[in-house]
Amino acid sequence: MNTATAMPPKLPDDIPGAVRAMKTELRQHMGDVQVVFDEVAAFITSEVEDIEQRQASGESVWPIIDYRDIAAGTVPATQMEEVRRRGCAVVRGHFPREAALDWDRSLVEYVERNDFDNQYRGPGDNFFGTLTASRPEIYPIYWSRPQMEARQSEQMATVQSFLNHFWHYRSEGKVWFDPDSNCLYPDRIRRRPPGTTSGGLGPHTDSGALERWLLPAYQRVFRRLFSGHFDAYDPWDAAYRTEVYEYEGGTTMCSAFRTFQGWTALSDMANNQGVLFTVPIPAAMAYILLRPLLDDVAEHDLCGVSPRLVLPISEQWHSLLLRGKTLIPDVQAGDSIWWHCDMIHGVEKVTDQQGWGNVMYIPVSPLCEKNAEYAESCAHHFELGESPDDFPSEHYEKDWQGRFMPAQLNERGRQSLCAG
Ligand SMILES: [Fe+2]
């Protein structure tokens, strides 16, 4: 790859001007935007109605897959189809419950032993900006033994590979990533104690906001949609996704292409205790992208999108989508949760939370040049116990005792660092 394309692009100086120019150009390509939008809205409406019916009948909308079936390659075809349709899944028993609870205890020991409470200097970023949210209890900890053990485990690799295979990684005459190899993408942990009252986190999507309209690479990702062919648009087509480099600056930037975002539960969590929700319709992104092109949105506006913040989903512009909001089912420690990288998600509010709400964020970052490049930079930070480049430079763990060390890497862990 030409290294010039691997640099994060700069935000346009005149964003309103760039948005206006983009809208003019897209309308020329698309013809009658309202006709295409109506087609998208009709599809979304049928999916929303199906979700509402399922919810009313008490069935889980989130596909629930048993880890043993993934490991044995015996996931029923109906469940595979459900994951493809909903773009999300719960993996039951991904890790034994006792092992996950053990990890949870180890994490507490790790932060207490290193006096994190007194070292903590407050949030290092303003990731969620203006979303109606109180801040979740995120710890900027990356290199604990539990996190690294989970990341380099066979169970994690098995599920990551299973999920990668939902994507068409070969298209347009190119192989976009290797579904059976994964790169390290170190992320943080969340620990939310019993008794928490939290406003949750408003619905949004990750992996670029303005970028999804303005960057040439994203315009290629959405080429079918932006040429007016919703019928040919496939949210699972990986083409050009690995060529997207988000705007530099800000801490919402993700340097990797994640096929799925995900976390592993380190405590049991009941579905009514302020848990994650998604709008389980991968093609909802088509609605999000086309909505600002309609006449009732100001020419310079993208339905509330701002630079360096996540893409907000609002009642004002996206009420149809929000009807599909679906909480995860009850989970146990050791289960994992996964959602497609375009998917709307957020965290439900809670009053006086019962039980803990503890997770390790571990996404799927399949092997491709972009992800390998980032993993290689993480390898350096891993050795020094520093925060990875996509996160605020807090570096709490540099001198911590009990940090996971390079000698503890297994073969899979070494490969995931993509070093050398
Ligand atoms: Fe998010």
Average pLDDT over residues 58-78: 97
Higher pLDDT, 8 or 43: 43
206 — pLDDT class (breaks 50, 70, 90): very high
What's the pLDDT at 133? 40
Asked if the model's pLDDT at residue 4 lies above 90, the reply is: no
Q: Which of the pair, 82 or 198, is modelled with greater confidence?
A: 82
Q: pLDDT above 90 covers what percent of the chain?
A: 89
d(CA 350, CA 193): 12
The CA distances from residue 220 to 208, 227, 261, 411, in Å, are: 15, 10, 22, 36
The three-point CA angle 346-352-354 to 5° equals 85
202 with 133: CB under 8 angstroms?
yes
State the distance from the centre of ligand 1 to the C-alpha of 288, rounded, in angstroms: 16
Q: How confident is the model at residue 91 (pLDDT cuts 50, 70, 90)?
A: very high
Q: What pLDDT sits at residue 136? A: 45
The band of 135, judged by pLDDT with boundaries at 50, 70 and 90, is very low
Length of the chain: 420
Query: Which of 314, 218, 201, 220 lies closest to 257, judged by CA?
Result: 218
User: Which residues line ion ligand 1, judged by CB < 5 Å?
Assistant: 206
Q: How far, in Å, is the centroid of ligand 1 from the Cα of 140?
A: 16
CATH fourth-level superfamily of 61-207+254-285+304-416 = B-lactam Antibiotic, Isopenicillin N Synthase; Chain (2.60.120.330)
Sort residue 119 into left (φ over 0), alpha (ψ -120 to 50) or beta.
alpha
Beta-carbon count within 10 A of 16 CB: 12
Ligand 1 center from residue 408 Cα (angstroms): 31
What's the gap in Å between 206 CA and the centre of ligand 1?
5
The average confidence (pLDDT) of the chain is 93
Cross-sheet strand order for the sheet of 276-278: 311-312, 201-205, 345-347, 276-278, 326-327
pLDDT of 223: 97
| C-beta separation of 333 from 267 below 8 A | yes
8 Å CB contact between 312 and 305? yes
Q: How far is the CA of 138 from the centre of ligand 1 (A)?
A: 13
User: What does the domain layout of the chain look like in residue ranges?
Assistant: 61-207+254-285+304-416
Predicted confidence (pLDDT) at residue 367 exceeds the cutoff of 50? yes
For residue 308, the model assigns a pLDDT of 84
Confidence of residue 145 (pLDDT cuts 50, 70, 90): very high
Distance from Cα 56 to the centre of ligand 1, integer Å = 27
Distance 202 CA to ligand 1 centre (A): 9
- Tell me: the pLDDT tens digits for 394-405? 999 999 999 999
Coil, strand or helix at 334: coil
For residue 374, give the nearest of 203, 186, 204, 197 by alpha carbon: 186
Convert the pLDDT of each residue in 223-280 to its tens digit.
999 999 999 999 999 999 999 999 987 667 899 999 999 999 999 999 999 999 999 9
**In the predicted model, is pLDDT for residue 2 greater than 70?**
no
337 confidence band (pLDDT: 50, 70, 90): very high
3-state secondary structure of 350: strand
Encode pLDDT of 148-187 as tens digits: 999 999 999 999 999 999 999 999 999 999 999 999 999 9
Cα separation values, 54 from 57, 60, 324, Å: 5, 7, 11
Question: How far apart, in whole angstroms, are the C-alpha atoms of residue 302 and residue 16?
Answer: 9
The arithmetic mean of pLDDT across residues 353-360, rounded, is 96
Q: 263: CA distance to ligand 1 center in Å?
A: 11
Measure 205 CA to ligand 1 centroid, in angstroms. 6
Q: Across residues 25-41, what is the average pLDDT?
A: 96
pLDDT at residue 252, as a whole number: 79
Interval between CA 9 and ligand 1 midpoint (Å): 22
Query: Could you give the CA distance from residue 229 to residue 387 in angstroms, rounded to a whole number?
Result: 42
Q: What is the pLDDT of residues 108-127, one digit of tens each?
A: 999 999 988 888 877 765 55
Distance 18 CA to ligand 1 centre (A): 25
Tokens of 205: 């999507």
Q: Is the dihedral of CA 388, 391, 394, 400 positive or negative?
A: negative
| Beta-carbon contacts of residue 275 (< 8 Å; ≥ 6 apart) | 269, 327, 328, 331, 347, 348, 357
How many CB atoms are closer than 10 A to CB 8?
12
Report whether pLDDT(46) > 80: yes
Identify the pLDDT of residue 249.
Answer: 73
Q: Which pLDDT band, with edges at 50, 70 and 90, does 359 fall under?
A: very high
* Residues sharing a CB contact under 8 Å with residue 287, sequence separation 6 or more, in sequence order: 37, 40, 41, 44, 318, 320, 321
What pLDDT sits at residue 250?
67
Q: Categorize the per-residue pLDDT at 295 as very low, low, confident or very high, splitting at 50, 70 and 90.
A: very high
Cα 208 to chain centroid distance, Å, stands at 11
The answer to whether 264 and 336 have CB atoms below 8 angstroms apart is yes
Q: Which residue has the tokens 């709490």?
A: 396
DSSP-derived secondary structure letter, 82: H
Question: Is 320 exposed, middle or buried (CB count within 10 Å of its CB: 0-12, 13-18, 19+)?
Answer: middle
